[in-house]
Amino acid sequence: MSVRDAFNLEGRTALITGGSRGLGLAMAGALGEMGAKVVISARKADELDAAVENLKRDRGVTAVRVIGDLSRAENVNPFVDAVAAAAGAPIDILVNNAGATWGASAEEHPLEGWNKVLGLNLTGVFLLTQQIGARWMIPRKQGRIVNIASVAGIKASQHLKAIAYHTSKGGLVQFTRALAAEWGQYGISVNAICPGFIPTKMSQGALDQLAPRVIEATPMKQLGEPADLEGLIVLLASGAARHITGQIIAVDGGASVV
């Protein structure tokens, strides 16, 4: 197989949760450009509609969208049914990108916030991955799962007061390793991307306060961009990564190594 063919995603169907903006939208565009059929999901219909239009206009990618709130366990099975109807094909690539955060010091962090963040960032990922795996990937003995964790899951910060977020992303890192070990026998790879600080709607509040400090502490002296994940998501979703699984890859300008 040529290198070009190894990266070709034609004939594959990808589901990207949290795909209506930011990192999810960028990754959806990259997968679509490489030939994958793209399904994006989020909670808000208007944002999904805008994302579908954006992908078509700016990248020539035709996507379908499914509305879903994965923070509630009872929503997962109906959501997967809706994905099946919208996609019209088995899901080959799952990008678990939907996430939430909650800013509060540990001693004041409300249980409501803890449950919201863990419910979406960890429990929702588990339940969705379980369903996608059982329905399509395990029976077909193939699949690519990419979890979007965070450098907050591999390195603590005294400045970013978001203990539920740190905990959820650390759990997602270990979830990735455990699932890779268990599902490798089925030809399914499971990897995680850990972005550093990248300006998005979710991170902007923290960056408004921390951006100069983050840049100074980053060896490459810059913030990331959503496009910085595009090449990596294509690699991990493609045949070029057939022997890569259980890996946790930081995209953070070197911030996690100093």
User: Rg of the chain over CA atoms, in angstroms?
Assistant: 17
Closest by CA position to 252, among listed 151, 146, 178: 151
The catalytically annotated residue of 165, 175, 183, 197 is: 165
| DSSP one-letter string for 48-89 | HHHHHHHHHHHH---EEEEE--TTSGGGHHHHHHHHHHHH-S
**Catalytic-residue membership of 186:** no
Q: Give the CB-side neighbour count of residue 228, counting CA atoms within 13 A.
A: 18
Residue 95: CB partners within 8 Å, gap ≥ 6? 14, 15, 16, 17, 19, 24, 27, 31, 146, 148, 233, 237
| Alpha-carbon distances, residue 203 vs 25, 103, 164, 196 (angstroms) | 15, 11, 15, 10
CA separation for the pair 55, 182 (Å, rounded): 35
* Dist. CA 109–CA 162, nearest whole Å: 8
Residue 190 φ/ψ, nearest 5 degrees: -135, 115
Q: What is the three-class DSSP state of 155?
A: coil
Is there a contact between 38 and 55 (Cβ–Cβ < 8 Å)?
Answer: yes
Distance CA 242, CA 84 (A): 25
Which residues are marked as active site? 165
